Structure 1
Amino acid sequence: MALDVHQFPCLSDNYGFLVRDAASGLAACIDTPDAGAILGELDKLGWKLALILNTHWHPDHAGGNAEIQAATGAQIVGPAEVRRIAPLDREVADGDTVELGDTRFAVFEVGGHTLGHIAYYDAADDIAFVGDTLFTLGCGRMFEGKPDQMWASLQRLAALPDETQVYCAHEYTAANARFALSVDGDPGLKARAEQIFAARERGEPTVPTTIGLEKATNPFLRAPLLAPGLGLSGAPDHEAFAAVRAAKDNFKG
């Protein structure tokens, strides 16, 4: 198996992702943040778009569906909630599989940011497209879900192999790192934050990350270990997570 991934910045802080199954030459885009940018990249690459794979309904993820479909004829696949703002040809949910040539994406339910948020996991290549559920050193805001749901979603992603490449949809990492340093004094986090700040100064992306790196340094995945410092010794894991998420929501650094 071989999945080619082409990543590019768009909008103010989004990443666009085009993927191509090497065996068939068929391509897909993960979400549609910027139709013009996506179509321009497809033209430069010369790739044939077969699928649009939406992770959730927000406009910076599904807002370009109609324009891209009109230009390419691609089939639009995603959770039912996408119909709130955009066309959808095939509804998928947890446990479903989406095929792009020889590449098979397992669909995972990872709700919390939105109730119907999903992720796409290519086990053969150890690649996951997680939308706004998990970020490099961060996680999505809970606009619709509750802490227990979001925590369960993060744990599902954390259960993937450590070497899994994680493609998240935004470049929020420098801000996430500043917050992480305010709640976690782990030396490994400090070293990683220095690398991140230097990379961003050079204009380099911090996406993709890996599951192993996030388990080691992401304060949202490490929330149970941080609970004593938050005055929550013995609290359920999802309550520790909720406290970290609330602290990030109010962080001004």
Structure 2
Amino acid sequence: MPNLEIELFSCRTDNFGVLIHDPESGATASIDAPEEQPILDALKRRGWTLTHILTTHHHQDHVEANLALKEAYGATIIGPENEANQIPGLDMTIGDGGDFEFAGHRVHVYETPGHTAGHICFHFPDDKLLFSADTLFALGCGRLFEGTPAQMWASLRKLMALPDDTTVYFGHEYTLSNARFALTIDPGNTALKNRAAEIEALRDRGGFTAPTQLGLEKQTNPFLRPDDAGIRAHLRMETASDAEVFAEIRKRKDNF
């Protein structure tokens, strides 16, 4: 089976647009639909025809272009069963542990409540791809609009169980701010310091910080490291549970 082709581009002020294309069948999916024109431009640039929209959650900056793109292409919209009544144009719902096929590529769904109550992530296990939207960011995680810290920590643990060589595409270009915050939580982490310097340079020249690798996130993302002794000592939370340490990190980021 040929590898999926991926087109990454900017939408809105800081959203990522992502198209995935199967060259054998011609099938093309948009991960969410943040903004119509940049998606149309990307399709035209690559000569692809949109067949699917894979929706992760109901926020407007992820579904705004659903109906326009569906009208233009007849695309099938697949999204979370627990947010079905909030997502425009939905054709098929899927819940935690569900599987479906995109052009012969297996897709496994993880429900990851926290950012929203029914947020899902799309994992392509054979392609080693994860589309995590607003659950897991490079050096960050989503703000908790509808869920609890305990829910988000449980959601992140699901994703952390995936192989380290999983390539992760996420929803927003927040990485520079996330890196600066991460250094306040995990100041002794040499890998993080090196990565933060690379991110500063990358953003200075206008480069994208997506995608990331899951193994790199486990080494440097403080939201995935509440069990780390250095972080616990820095926060003076040596005897707290992982969920409590995570909650403290999330609270600090909200106020950063």
Q: Could you tell me which of 163, 175, 180 is aligned with 1:161?
A: 163
Distance 1:200 1:209 in 2: 15
1:221 corresponds to: 224
Mapped pair 1:196 → 2:202:
no
Distance 2:104 2:26 in 1: 10
Q: How far is 1:102 from its partner?
A: 1.5
1:118-197 equivalence runs, <5 A = 118-185=120-187, 186-197=189-200
Mapped pair 1:17 → 2:18:
yes
Distance 1:11 1:220 in 2: 26
2:177 is paired with a residue whose SS is: helix
Deviation larger for 107-116 or 18-27: 18-27
Deviation larger for 180-189 or 192-201: 180-189
1:241 corresponds to: 246
The gaps in structure 2 that reach 5 residues or longer are none
1:46-57 equivalence runs, <5 A = 46-57=47-58
Q: How many residues align?
A: 251
Runs of 4+ in 1 over 3 A off after TM superposition: none
2:16 is paired with a residue whose SS is: strand
1:223 is paired with a residue whose SS is: coil
Q: How far is 1:16 from its partner?
A: 0.3
The answer as to whether partners of 1:51 and 1:74 remain within 8 angstroms in 2 is: yes
1:65 corresponds to: 66
The gaps in structure 1 that reach 5 residues or longer are none
The answer as to whether partners of 1:63 and 1:85 remain within 8 angstroms in 2 is: no
| Identical columns (%) | 49
C-alpha root-mean-square deviation of aligned residues, in Å? 1.1
Distance 1:64 1:48 in 2: 15
Q: Which amino acid aligns with 1:232?
A: M
Q: How far is 1:98 from its partner?
A: 2.5
2:90 corresponds to: 88
Cα displacement string for residues 74-103 of structure 1 (whole angstroms, at most 9, x for unaligned residues) = 011001315325221111111112322111
Distance 1:145 1:90 in 2: 24
Mapped pair 1:43 → 2:29:
no
The answer as to whether partners of 2:70 and 2:89 remain within 8 angstroms in 1 is: no
Q: Which amino acid aligns with 2:245?
A: A
